[in-house]
Amino acid sequence: MMKKILDAMLAALDRGERVVLCSIFASSGSAPRGAGAKMAVFADGSTLGTVGGGAVELRSAERAREAIRTGGSGLKSYELHPNDVNDIGMICGGQVTVYFQLFTPEQTEDIAVLRTWRAQLSRNVDLWLLLALDGERVKEFRVLTRGGIPQEKKEYFTSRAIWHGGVYTEPLARAGRACIFGGGHVGRALVPVLANVDFRVTVYDDREALAKPENYPAADEVVFGSFSDISGVTLTADDYAVVMTPGHQADYEVLAQVLRSKAGYIGCIGSRGKIAKTRERLLADGFTDADLARVHAPIGLPILAETPEEIAISVAAEMIEHRAKRR
């Protein structure tokens, strides 16, 4: 989603329009969204993204539209009192602090940061946002890879967003990608789902007619190659290997190679019967029970999915859960 937000913001700025990026800096209690949630508000009143829905989002959009008209960035805290309809209409209790960052076509340096942010999201790097304020005015706005983190601010760059002492830092992306081995019906349905929740996606297939970028517009990379030799793809501990080739033999061949890699997540589609047979072959090849325990099979959360689109959601949900537990 962040890629879409940045693309839309940059397009609007290129047209000479103002844009406001609303970001939750901090939340407490039962707030609907946590720190890092974002929504862009455009000059025509439209929005993209979300800071939690309901009246909080409505008020945030109104505040952003005012900033577009009058200029100026700023902070706003919203109190969420249970059942207090006179406040902001939210049932859950807590507090949300939102920063409204105005971008104008004249802010060439800040626009350059947005372009760098967008470009880095397609790279296999750890990435953070650094936003330092002087009061409510932006003093420093940068996106940084791990190697660019200032030593004096190192403690701010963690796996969680931090808002402290006028400095806001947020992890924007983690190194790692989702490598989908097999771009058939489920693979094609899975690509946009993963891309929309900020996975970098590589599709690998041995069918030349399928292994074309135009078939997977949301993928960062599409590779044509043999399933019997995937050595052209290096899998690190940050990577996700999703095995859903068109046949049992290819599944076995890919799994045997992926299990020798450092992939942090391995999943394989298929019936329990197929998985059992593949497991027997891998054990006969010398893999251990501990090796095979790394494999999520059948892949996906058990939501009784049947169609490719439903299966894609179950697979993505399991991968999101795995990613959240790694933080």
CB-hemisphere CA count at 13 Å for 104? 9
What torsion, rounded to 10 degrees, do the Cα atoms 265, 268, 274, 277 define? -30
Cβ partners under 8 Å of residue 323, min gap 6: 174
pLDDT at site 87: 44
Proportion of the chain above pLDDT 70, given as a percent: 94
Give per-residue pLDDT as tens, 90-149: 445 578 899 999 999 999 999 999 999 999 988 878 899 999 999 889 999 999 998 899
**What is the pLDDT of the chain when averaged over all its residues?**
91
DSSP annotation string for 198-216:
T--EEEEES-TTT--GGG-
Instruction: State the average pLDDT over residues 43-72.
Output: 91
Confidence of residue 262 (pLDDT cuts 50, 70, 90): very high
* Strand partners of residue 142: 130
- CATH architecture of the domain covering 178-326: 3-Layer(aba) Sandwich (3.40)
Q: How far apart are CA 322 and CA 51, in angstroms?
A: 24
Give per-residue pLDDT as tens, 222-237: 999 999 999 999 999 9
What residue ranges do the domains of the chain occupy?
A: 1-175, 178-326
Instruction: State the average pLDDT over residues 297-320.
Output: 96
Residue in 298, 293, 323 with CA at minimum distance from that of residue 194: 323
Residue in 72, 78, 48 with CA at minimum distance from that of residue 60: 78
Confidence of residue 81 (pLDDT cuts 50, 70, 90): low
Give per-residue pLDDT as tens, 195-206: 988 899 999 999
Q: How far apart are CA 304 and CA 229, in angstroms?
A: 33
In which residue are the tokens 């080739």 written? 245
